């Protein structure tokens, strides 16, 4: 029977779901995953620490059950979570994991680190996220790290699903007031929200059911309207420009040479909207900080497994 001490756990937690993979400590090159589990929101800042911890715990338990392995203390766990990019969150979550006896060694990171680990064998370059929020995180060959964005929806998150949806709604109501250009976004959002009149949008948007995540999910309205509406097209182009700014500024901060570094992209918007990826690619190719290649990472949790293995191996090398 497989022993928990011969296993690692990788966790990817975001604003809507948490995914956990249980895998062997040793990587045989096949990408073998023994068990997969899912839980609810894993962002401790958005969902609250108790809710996020419950989601992580549920996902880990489900991964063990899927593997048909008794739950136990694994060699290493990497908890890669949105809203956990600072030491304050990382310390608190590490203490919780130790109390739950999750692993002999637990590391907590933000949600960009596993994206880079999944895409780059050398684990350096830039990871860009555009999902509910937006963030760029990078590491250069010297091991220096930096990040741009990740300020949250009140202070930043430009180029994210939330920002795109909110911009679309704002242009829609400007059109309703004849204070802005006529746009199909007004009727599109009315249909999406079952609002008979523009004024009904107020009740829909300010209702208790309109969560941050639900509003972000309406970015698809802007993307669906963009092919035949100049205002929606402008919003998408502006979002791509903001994501370009994140990458360009970070590449310069880390002294990443043009044409040398990999760019790994993930998040619901970048994964599901090829038109935005194409715009971003075009902008980056014209810049002085053009990446060597753009890699799409559909399953960041795979990178979380990689980080758990790295942590376990580093620990064994430094053990007395």
Whether residues 92 and 159 fall in one domain: no
Whether residues 311 and 282 fall in one domain: no
Q: Mean pLDDT, to the nearest integer, of 148-161? A: 89
- Answer yes or no: is pLDDT of 317 > 70: no
- CA angle centred on 84, ends 81 and 87, rounded to 5°: 145
- Answer yes or no: is pLDDT of 78 > 80: yes
Confidence band, pLDDT 50/70/90 cuts, at residue 2: low
Whether residues 74 and 144 fall in one domain: no
Q: How far apart are CA 298 and CA 131, in angstroms?
A: 12
Q: Mean pLDDT, to the nearest integer, of 240-257? A: 93
Please tell me the predicted confidence (pLDDT) of residue 1: 55
Parent domain of 37: 4-111+300-318
Whether residues 285 and 151 fall in one domain: yes
Whether residues 138 and 283 fall in one domain: yes
Residue 117 in any domain: the answer is no
Confidence band, pLDDT 50/70/90 cuts, at residue 211: confident
113 vs 235, residue with greater confidence:
235
Q: Mean pLDDT, to the nearest integer, of 288-301? A: 88
Q: How many domains does the chain have?
A: 2
pTM score of the predicted model: 0.86
Please tell me the predicted confidence (pLDDT) of residue 319: 45
Residue 120 in any domain: the answer is no
- Answer yes or no: is pLDDT of 145 > 60: yes
Whether residues 277 and 171 fall in one domain: yes
- Answer yes or no: is pLDDT of 269 > 60: yes
Q: How far apart are CA 165 and CA 181, in angstroms?
A: 17
Confidence band, pLDDT 50/70/90 cuts, at residue 4: confident
Whether residues 309 and 161 fall in one domain: no
Whether residues 150 and 263 fall in one domain: yes
């Amino acid at each position: 029977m497989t022993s928990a001490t011969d296993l690692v756990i990788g966790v990817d937690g975001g604003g809507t779901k948490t995914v956990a993979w249980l895998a062997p400590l040793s990587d045989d090159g096949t990408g073998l995953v023994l068990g997969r589990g899912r839980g609810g929101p894993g962002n401790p800042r958005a969902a609250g620490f108790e809710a996020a911890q419950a989601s992580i715990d549920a996902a880990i338990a489900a991964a063990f059950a899927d593997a048909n392995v008794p739950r136990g203390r694994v060699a290493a766990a990497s908890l890669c979570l949105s809203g956990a990019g600072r030491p304050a969150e990382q310390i608190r979550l590490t203490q919780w994991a130790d109390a739950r006896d999750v692993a002999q060694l637990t590391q907590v990171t933000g949600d960009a680190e596993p994206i880079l680990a999944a895409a780059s064998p050398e684990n350096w370059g830039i990871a860009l996220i555009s999902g509910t929020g937006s963030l760029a995180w990078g590491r250069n060959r010297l091991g220096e790290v930096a990040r741009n964005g990740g300020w949250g929806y009140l202070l930043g998150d430009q180029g994210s699903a939330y920002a795109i949806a909110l911009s679309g709604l704002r242009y829609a109501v400007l059109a309703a007031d004849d204070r802005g250009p006529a746009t199909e976004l007004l009727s599109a959002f009315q249909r999406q929200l079952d609002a008979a009149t523009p004024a009904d949008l107020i009740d829909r948007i300010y209702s208790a059911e309109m969560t941050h995540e639900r509003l972000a999910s309406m970015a698809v309205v802007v993307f669906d309207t963009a092919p035949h509406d100049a205002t929606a097209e402008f919003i998408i182009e502006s979002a791509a420009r903001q994501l370009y700014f994140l990458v360009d500024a970070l590449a310069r901060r880390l002294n990443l040479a043009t044409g040398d570094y990999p760019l790994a992209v993930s998040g619901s918007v970048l994964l599901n909207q090829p038109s935005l990826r194409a715009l971003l690619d075009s902008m980056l190719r014209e810049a002085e900080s053009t990446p060597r290649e753009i890699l799409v990472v559909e399953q960041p949790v795979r990178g979380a497994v990689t980080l758990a293995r790295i942590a376990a191996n580093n620990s064994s090398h430094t053990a007395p």
